[in-house]
Amino acid sequence: MILTAVAVAVHMTPSPAPSAVRLRLSGYLRAYDFTRQNASNAPGVRYTPTKYDDNAVNQQSFESTASIHGAYSFSTFTLGASYLFADPFDACRMVSDQFKGSTCAMNVPPATNPDNQLPGYELSTLYEAYAEYIHGGSSITIGNQLMNTPWANQADTRVKPMAYQGANLSEGLGEWSIQAMDILRFEPRNASSFTNATLLTSYPPTGNNGIPGNSSPPANVKFATDDPFGDIPTSGFWAGRAAYTGHDGLTGEADYYDFKDIATALWLTARYVFPARAKPFVGFQLGEERNGGSSVIGRIDSQITGLQSGVNVAPGVQLSAAIDDLPWRSALATLPAGAACNASTHQLSLATPAHGYTVFPYFLPNYAPQCTPGLARGTAIIFYGGWASPYTYGTTGDPLYTTMLTQGFVDRNTAGTSWKTAATYTSSDHRFVATLSHALYNAGNAGGEQLADENDLDVTFYAGRAAAGAHYRGLVLRYRYGSRTYTNTLLYGGLPLFKYNRSQLEYDF
């Protein structure tokens, strides 16, 4: 398996058949700078010496990375591995240096806290270590490996991709291909070890110490304050996939996931490119998800309907528009001891457990109305319907058409309707790609209104030529900027204004 350094711009291709060259080496050097403006003087998150709020201070991290991948092939077998080392080259290189109150996270403007989504601490990991068998159109890969399925993917937009530990089987059948996988554990993109929890069922690597990592627990899960590294263990997932790639402009796939003890999900998507000079296209996506097994993060009942279309209006210029809709659900619930629904903010509060964790039995949205008080004392009408994504949550790596650089409905666990428009320019030699995009999000429900929008710029320049379907070698420059706004943040939380700058310098070999 050849490592793809820039997964957003250069897609992974199926592992090639073993060649006469037994040992193959590849890899990349990366340098990233992340800067987050957190609207630190906004009401509700304004800095005060007596109140700790990680939203009340801006964030910045720099991280340099080296990753090398080696694969040794003999006959139809391949042994492969990828090792990565990343370091911020400053005095904040340890995870413990990021804790609340440390010299690296003082929460005192104008100083900045680290951005540990990058992260701002050292990484050292053998994230790929696998054995692979290839014969004809069949393959099986066992061990630590990369994956590229809609709801369990690499999310390789930081210093390292996410990796998965388990078995992956695939079979090519002409225009069709089928795939089955059984995954036991995974490694987040800001961690150096594999875990049997998920992005929805664990704290980020730095714990709940004021500095957010890759993600945080959903709103209906609360961990004990004396156990910031606690998690809800799950045993991974299994999935099946069937994909069609025809020669008539039609592609599509069907995916089924069993996220063990969390949910089961069915995902359907298709795309058709019309045989015209402007290459107009239309795509759709449909999803259905419900809680399953032990339902460790509560009741989930989510449906997604998405539509996308686009056209090339000039050589190298494509315009596109998309919509995603997730209907809200509501239920009358008796609140557990210590829980309350605020009649003014429509937010649900949970009692902090003495040890371990507590789970409210409905998967709640973030930064949106969650409830209204019921007529009977101790009851509330609960609003839910968001899609629970254990392996993309907090990464904006989900496949929804309307997900942007810094947000999407999946990362907020919310339902509603969202719209996105985009314009992409690609140079004739494919070395320069630039995208401008705009999205609107309506997460309001019967509990109140909540609107958000975002504007993004994504520019990539390849210093060398990239052959189609081949591993890129050479220098890559990439810059991304995102600016988003939320309404009613004093009621529902979140930042009224947020700006993100991401600068990437990379050399692939």
Q: Does residue 237 carry a pLDDT above 50?
A: yes
Contact 253, 278 (CB under 8 A): no
pLDDT value at position 215? Answer: 60
pLDDT value at position 229? Answer: 60
> Which phi and psi (to 5°) does residue 492 adopt?
-110, -5
Cis bond leading into 119, ω under 30°? yes
Tell me the average pLDDT across 135-154.
96
User: CA–CA separation, 205 vs 209, rounded Å?
Assistant: 10
pLDDT value at position 204? Answer: 64
Contact 180, 240 (CB under 8 A): yes
Contact 83, 67 (CB under 8 A): yes
The Cβ-side half-sphere exposure at 238, using a 13 Å CA radius, reads 4
State which H helix or E strand residue 394 sits in.
none
Percent above pLDDT 90 for the chain:
74
Report pLDDT digits (tens) over 278-300.
999 999 999 999 999 999 999 99
Closest residue by Cα to residue 206 from 195, 214, 198, 196: 214
User: CA–CA separation, 232 vs 358, rounded Å?
Assistant: 10
* Sign for the pseudo-dihedral over CA of 385, 309, 8, 26: positive
Contact 86, 72 (CB under 8 A): no
Report pLDDT digits (tens) over 401-424.
999 999 999 999 999 999 999 999
Report pLDDT digits (tens) over 450-489.
999 999 999 999 999 877 778 899 999 999 999 999 999 9
Residue 276 CB partners (closer than 8 Å, separation 6+): none
Q: Does residue 74 carry a pLDDT above 50?
A: yes
pLDDT value at position 228? Answer: 56
Across the strands, what pairs with 257? 239, 265
pLDDT value at position 360? Answer: 96
Q: Does residue 130 carry a pLDDT above 60?
A: yes
Local confidence band at 103 (pLDDT 50, 70, 90 cut-offs):
confident
User: CA–CA separation, 296 vs 488, rounded Å?
Assistant: 30
Contacts of range 337-341, beta carbons closer than 8 Å, 24 or more positions apart: 341/370, 341/371, 341/372, 341/373, 341/374, 341/380
Local confidence band at 268 (pLDDT 50, 70, 90 cut-offs):
very high
What are the chain's domains? 23-508 (2.40.160.10)
Q: Which segment of 352-356, 390-394, 422-426 scores lowest on mean pLDDT?
A: 352-356
Tell me the average pLDDT across 229-240.
89
In the DSSP assignment, the letter for residue 3 is P
Q: What do you get for the CA distance between the two ends of the chain, in Å?
A: 15
Local confidence band at 163 (pLDDT 50, 70, 90 cut-offs):
very high
Q: Does residue 436 carry a pLDDT above 90?
A: yes
Report pLDDT digits (tens) over 182-232.
999 999 999 999 999 999 998 765 544 444 444 678 999 988 876 556 789
Q: Count CB atoms within 10 A of the CB of residue 173.
A: 11
Across the strands, what pairs with 184? none
User: CA–CA separation, 61 vs 123, rounded Å?
Assistant: 14
Local confidence band at 368 (pLDDT 50, 70, 90 cut-offs):
very high
pLDDT value at position 410? Answer: 97
